[in-house]
Structure formats: C-alpha cells, structure tokens
Amino acid sequence: MINVRKSFFSLFGLYLIFSNGECCIDDGCYLPKPNITLKAINDKQTLVVSWLVKHSSFGGDIYEIELSRTEQHTVIYTTNVSVSPGGSAEYTWTWISDLPLECVDHSVRMRYYNQSVQSPWSNWITNSGVKANDKSQIFPSSRVLRQGSSAMFCCIPPTGVNVKRMTFRNKEYRLLSIEGGVKAITVNNLTIPKGIIKHLILSCDDATGESVHVSNYISFPPQKPRNLSCVTFDMVSVTCTWNSPRKQLPFDRNVQIYTLHIENSDKAPFTCEQSSCTFPAVPHQQDYNISVWVKDKLGEEMERYSFNISDRVFPVVKSLRVNRGVTGATVSWSMQESLTHMNLICQVATVPLGTMELRCNNIMSSFCDAKLEHLVPNTKYNVRVRCTVNGRLWGEWAEGSFTTDLLVSLDLWRRIQPLSNSRTRQVTLMWKPRIAGTAATINIQEYTVQWSQEGQTESKNSSVGQAVMSIGPGKCDFTVQAVLPSGTSIPANITIPPAEHKENLPVQKRLDSTSEGGFNLTWEEQSTATCGYVVEWCMLGNAVPCTLQWNVPEENNALFLHASEFQAGNRYTFYIYGCTDNGHRLLEMQTGYSQELKSVQRPSLVEPVQSTSSSVTLEWHYNEDDPAQPAFIMGYLVTVQEVGSVLLPDRSNVSVADPHMKFVTIEGLKENTEYTCSVSALTKEGPGLPASITFRTKINYSSLILKVLTPIFLLMGCTVLLWSQVKIVRSGLKEIFIYPAGMNIKTPEFEGFLHETDQWLQSQKPEECISCDIEILNGRPSLNEITALRDSELMNEPCSPSLQSSLSSSSPSCMLLEANYCPQLATLPWDRPASQQVTSLMNRSYLYTLKEGYSEPPKVVFSETKSSFEASDCPLESCGVIYGYIANDSL
C-alpha cells in the first residue's frame, strides 16, 4: 500500500511537470524561464515581442519586460504586462523606439509571476544594430517621416573613427553619444519642404574628413474619407465617391492605397481610385455595408457607409433628340432597359419657356418623348432632360439645342408719283423681310409681285427688295411674296387708292428727341385704321435726294426709333399713315432733330442802322424755317457793347423770343458814342454764329443848350434878388473882410504871432499837478453867501487882490485876462459820518485872450482850493467854502 502511494505521488508530480511546466520541491514551487521571440520592423522603428502563454490556474499571469540598449544591456525601458486567464495562446507586445533600430543593439528579456511565484529571467534576445565598415552610415535613410513629429537621426562611424558633426537642412545640431562612437541628433517639428521634391538632406562629418549624406521625405498621415456616398446608374454596377480633407501633393513618396470592402458579402476587397470606386452589384442583394480604407507608410484610416441600392438609383438620359417645327417641337430620349420597369419621372426644361414634368413608364420600349408648344419661329432653344426613380435622386441633365423653322413676312410700302400729261401713275413698291424670332441668315431665292386693277391681274418677279410698275388712275391691289427653299413667305398686301383721292396735309408738329438722341413717336389711334400704321421718313432728313425709310409699328399708336439710325443736326419729318380698306391715309406729320446743334447760320443785318442819341433800332433778315438749319430757331440774342469797354450792365443782352420778329429797339445809350451790336439766332443748345455791326449815336443838341443856359439864368436870378439888399450885403462883407477900426496889425507881426502860438501849443505836455496846502482861519458864513460872493467876484473882478499881489513881483501890474471856463462841480458828501473830514478841490481851466500891449501870454496856472471841514462842526446853514487862487510862475 505504501508502494502504491509512492507511485501515485510520483506520477502526479510528473503530470504537474509536463502539464504546467512548474517544478514543485518540498520547500516551494519554481516556474520555468519564459521562451520569447523578437521581431524588428525597422521602417516603423518597432520591436515586436511574442511568447506562448499557458495557464494552469484560474488566476492570470503578470509579465515583466525589460528592454536595453548597447552590448552592456543598459536598461532603458521596463513595463509589466497582465495576461488574463484562459487557454494557451501566443501573446505579442509591441514597443516603438525613438531611436532608429539600426543605430545600436536592442535587447529584450522577460519574467513572469504566477500568484506569488516568480519565474527566472529569460535570456536576452538581441536585435543587432548596423556596423559601419569603411564609411559612416546615417539612419533613418530614404524613409517617409510624419509631418509635425520629432525624429532622432544617428550616424554610425567605422570602428575607431569619431563623428565630428551632424547637420540637418544645413543646420548643425548638438550631438548625443549613444555607444561605440555612435552619435545622434534630435529634430523637432518636421515640416514639409516647399520644393517640388519633398525631401530633407542629413549630413554627417567624421574626424577623417569624410562626409556622408542621406535624404528623408516628409509627408502627412492618411486622412479619413468624408462625404462617402454610393449610386447606381443601371442597377448593374455601383459607384462610390468620397472627399479627402487633404489632397496629396505631386511627387509625394508616401503612396496611399484605397480599398473598398463589402462587409456583408464574401467578395474580395476592391482596389479604388483616390476619390472613387466602382464595383459590380451583388445579384439579388439590396442592402450594402461597405468600408473604405486608405493606407500608407504613416498609418491607415477607414470610413463606413450603408445603403439600399434601390434608393440610390441615378438615371442617365441617353440619345436626346428633337424633331422641330415652326411653332412646336418633339423631344425624345432613351433610358437604360434595366430601369424601364421602375417608376421613372422625367423633367424637360426649355429656356426660356420653363420646366415640364412627365412620367416615363414605357415597358415595351426604352424611349420617352415630350411635346413642346407655343414656340417662336426661327428661334434657338436650349433643352435639358433629367430623370429620377421614385423622386429620390435626380440624374444629371442631358442637354441639347434646336432652332425652330423659319417664318418669313414682308414689310411692304409704296411711293406714288403721277406722270405728267397722263393719267398713268408710277408706283414703286419697296419691302423688307421680317423674320420672326432670332433671325439667322436666310436664303431668299426671289420675290413674286402680283397686282390687280379693274379686274386685270399681272405679275412679275424681282431679285431685289423693290419693283416699279405703272398703273392707271383706279384703285389697285398689290401682293408680294418671298420664295424660300422650303416654300414661300406670308403674303404682304397693300392697296393704292384712286388717283382722284386727295388728302389734306395735317399741321406739322414739332417733335423732341429723347435723352439718348432717338425719337419716341406717338399719335392718336384712329378707328378707321383697320390694318395698322406705317411711319415714313427720309434717311438723310429733309435734304434731297430722299432715301425713303419706313417702319410698321408693332403697337397701335407708338414707335421708338433708336439714335443709331439718325444723324445729329439733320431735321427729320415723319409721316404717319393709317391703313384703311381704300389704302393708306396720312394722319400726322411730326418733325424734329435727333440732336440739335448751335452752329446755325448768321442773320443778315439791315443797313444803315436807325439810331438816335440814346437808342438804336436793329433789323435783320433770317430764314428761321429753313429745313437745312441744324436746329430749331427759338428766337434771337442781341448784344450791345460800347467800343473799347466791357458789356453794358443790365442792357448788354436783349432776347427776342419770337423767331418771326426780326427787329428790336435798345434804349438807354450814351449820345455821340460808338457801339458794336451783334445778332445771333438762338437754339436749344445756345446762340449760333453772330452777325455784327458798328454805329455811333447822335449828339443831343437840345440837352447841350440846356446845360449852357441853366447857369446863366441862375446867376441872373440871384442878381435880381440880391439887388434890393445891396447895402446889407455890403456891410456884412465889410465885417468879414475889413479889419475893425483902431486895429493896427502888421502882416509880419501877425505871422510871427501865429508861428509862436503854434510852437507853444505843440510844446505843451501833460504834467503832474502841483498843489499847495493852505490853512485859512476865518468865520464860516452860510453856504448861500459863499456861493453869491464867489460868483460876484469871478464875474466882476477878473484879477483878485491875492492874485495881483502874487504877480506883482514878476509884472508891474496885474494882467487883464478874459477867461471863459466850465467848472467841474463836486458833490459835497453831507451824509458822511460826523467824524470824517472832507476836503474838496476843484480845478478850472481857462482860455486866455491876449490883450493889446502884451506880446506874449503869461504862463499862469490857477488852482482852486476848498477848505476842509467836519460835518459835526458845520451845520448845513452855517457851512462855508473858501476859494483861493495860486499863481505859479515856474509852470
């Protein structure tokens, strides 16, 4: 029993060993080394580690992975990978290196944990770097790099050689030491070059002077397709289209590959163009789930789309044809036979008529048609057709054009000229082809003219647009037709009235042109005009010879004629005829200019000019109604100008508003003065060429005699009036012109006196007032007494005793002076406070008259002084004012 037990445990241990790969000893359980494989993808700088995962328990395993560089196994990256429990499977782990794998050795090892048990490390698996032999090598090389990313570039020198420098786009970068002399640089934010070839140059220089160069390309990763949609034109094939957000540039080395997958079908992927893909429809399949993939060296993108093929039918119109007529056409087209059993709706659009819609469900035939009506003859039309199935998707327009058949009519007119000494009349028929619609050049072979008079019918052919016939005095009917390759035109008819039919010429109306220089003719509509109107005029206006023109208006009472048909300065007369059963009758005559000119003829002045001393009468001759005039004559402008001077104010220009009045009288001229007068015809554009004449006004002798006799008569009248007062006048003149008695004035002395007085007056300048303080003690008489005393002294005593005594030292006697003065009165402030003392000083200025016997005036200045007083001591009735005069000889 013990041996059986030992055998069982031995077999169970072997089972555990071979089933789990684990070895359990008494003191614990040991896990075997993991077995890993390593794969390098150099273009993507990627290492792929794979191993076989076996689970022996319900718990998962944790794998620890170490990645190292260089032969010394310098660990640069460590990570843990958790694997869920399950059956045996191969597991992979991917790592992307920032340094190209060619630059240095990269090694990977692994160990794992099962619950608390740790396996030993696996052996290092190494991806060896490149070894340079005779020259340095640079990595990456000729590789497509992502725009906007950062990249590391390394330079591997031969053994024993040092890298001196590395440059990228001619710019030197700082070197990074890797191992064994390998150097690297880091470039951030790679940008696409602007040249045609989107490549960048990388250089490496070593210590031996050798330099190597490589190129790398910059591009962008694939963009996700947008606006993905699919249609079918015939239910046989499907076309899908999409937009790329960013188009690839020419010469881009990053080639993109587009593929389309039908996910709900076993069909293989379809290779596509850059923005479209066409694949055959799967028989009996309505719903499609597709995906479009775009792949390149930098990645891949994908977009999905689902649709029902019956909803994506895009009908195509084929074989568009038009069967045309004069006023109608039939449009027909064909469709795919596979669509004829479906509900087709088509639209036919004709420019400028509009769009019509119709159903096209002809199962027996693939053709559809539509009729177009009310078309204009000889007119080009553009027609378009498109169709839809069930009104979901409209197909592309199929376009075509056609021209309706010709419809030719004739505008027919006549000229009647009676022959002299005969009852025969000569009729000239003229016609112009009128083509309805947008006319092209037409081929008219000839014209047929037929006329009927008094039961006899005649005819003739003409190859030009007119014919001349002789008819009798009776009524005659004419018919003209154009012969076309496809038939004849619409017959044109005109009636010539009998010769005895006379018409009264209507009054001629003046016609104004439009702002563009054309004519807008209007007339009253007549009830007798049953077959329209005709407007007739001469091509060169009223000048001879006349090249007759005519027009048949489309409207009943209006016609607009463009300015391009007329010449400026030519007068045109338009004859408006109404068409009646007995022929055409003249209704109105209208005359006008397309553009008036002011260069009209000069008037002819009548000489001699009739003039007076203050006016002139001018007369002239002029033909204002001459049809050769380049404008209508509105009146005349008369200009009068004095010879050698400017125009006369207010009377220089005289306008004559009536063109038939050819004289004018101008008043207000100077006598015996030479004038120039000019006369010009007035038009709407201004005055024309002037005619000038020079004349002289006459002398006004009566005015001259009046000017001479008037002063004489005035003098005589004054003499008569003053003769009776001769004595009074004589005494007055003596007082003015004779010296007073007793005055002995010598002329030299008087002149010297005047000179000295003038010099003295000029030497006087304003100076400061010299004053003296005087104290006077006396009684205070009343104010009235003081005032009376002052006035009497001033009036009766021209020289006061005090003044006489003060002047006695300088003069033997007091000078007699006559003084006229105007005192400057001061208002006495009686209402001041009692304690305030008031002093009033009044100055007088005198004008002295020198008395006889004094050769020079004394220089005397008078000052008037008032005494000071207090209101409290001097009541109103007892206050006194003391006056004094001071003579200052020094002034």
Between CA 450 and CA 477 the distance in angstroms is 8
CATH number at residue 387: 2.60.40.10
Could you tell me if residue 705 is inside a domain?
no
Between 461 and 337, the more confident residue is 461
- Report the SS3 class of residue 675: strand
Could you tell me if residue 276 is inside a domain?
yes
Of 404, 547, 436, 418, nearest to 472 by C-alpha is: 418
Query: Do residue 429 and residue 337 come from a single domain?
Result: no
Over the chain, what is the mean pLDDT?
A: 78
Give the total number of structural domains in the chain.
Answer: 8
> How big, in percent rounded to 5, are the helix, strand and coil portions of the chain?
10, 40, 50
Among 31-40, 192-201, 674-683, name the one with the lowest average pLDDT.
192-201
pLDDT for residue 356 is more than 50: yes
Distances (CA, A) of 642 to 639, 693, 699: 10, 12, 16
What does residue 706 show for φ and ψ, rounded to 5 degrees?
Answer: -65, -40
Q: What is the per-residue pLDDT for 750? A: 60
Query: Do residue 82 and residue 44 come from a single domain?
Result: yes
**pLDDT bracket for residue 822 (50, 70, 90):** very low
**pLDDT bracket for residue 107 (50, 70, 90):** very high
CB 685 within 8 A of CB 597: yes
CB 392 within 8 A of CB 378: no
Q: Of 196, 219, 242, which marks where a domain is finished? A: 219
Query: Do residue 578 and residue 676 come from a single domain?
Result: no
Between CA 234 and CA 315 the distance in angstroms is 7
Query: Do residue 584 and residue 518 come from a single domain?
Result: yes
pTM for the model: 0.47
**pLDDT bracket for residue 763 (50, 70, 90):** low
Q: List, for residues 6-15, the tens digit of each pLDDT value.
A: 444 344 344 4
Q: What is the per-residue pLDDT for 793? A: 42
Q: What is the per-residue pLDDT for 702? A: 75
The residue segments making up the domain with residue 78 are: 19-127
pLDDT for residue 124 is more than 90: yes
**pLDDT bracket for residue 406 (50, 70, 90):** confident
Which residues make beta-bridge pairs with 157? none
pLDDT for residue 885 is more than 70: no
CB 664 within 8 A of CB 671: no
Q: Amino acid identity, residue 872?
A: S
Among 513-517, 613-617, 741-745, 827-831, name the one with the lowest average pLDDT.
827-831
Q: List, for residues 745-759, the tens digit of each pLDDT value.
A: 555 566 676 777 777
- What are the DSSP calls for 433-451, one per residue? EEESSS-------EEEEEE
Q: What is the per-residue pLDDT for 846? A: 37
Q: What is the per-residue pLDDT for 851? A: 38
Could you tell me if residue 94 is inside a domain?
yes
**pLDDT bracket for residue 263 (50, 70, 90):** very high
- Report the SS3 class of residue 782: coil
Query: Do residue 851 and residue 810 come from a single domain?
Result: yes
pLDDT for residue 330 is more than 50: yes
Q: Of 95, 127, 159, which marks where a domain is finished? A: 127
| Mean pLDDT, rounded, for 400-412 | 86
Q: Of 699, 727, 743, which marks where a domain is finished? A: 699
Query: Do residue 467 and residue 486 come from a single domain?
Result: yes
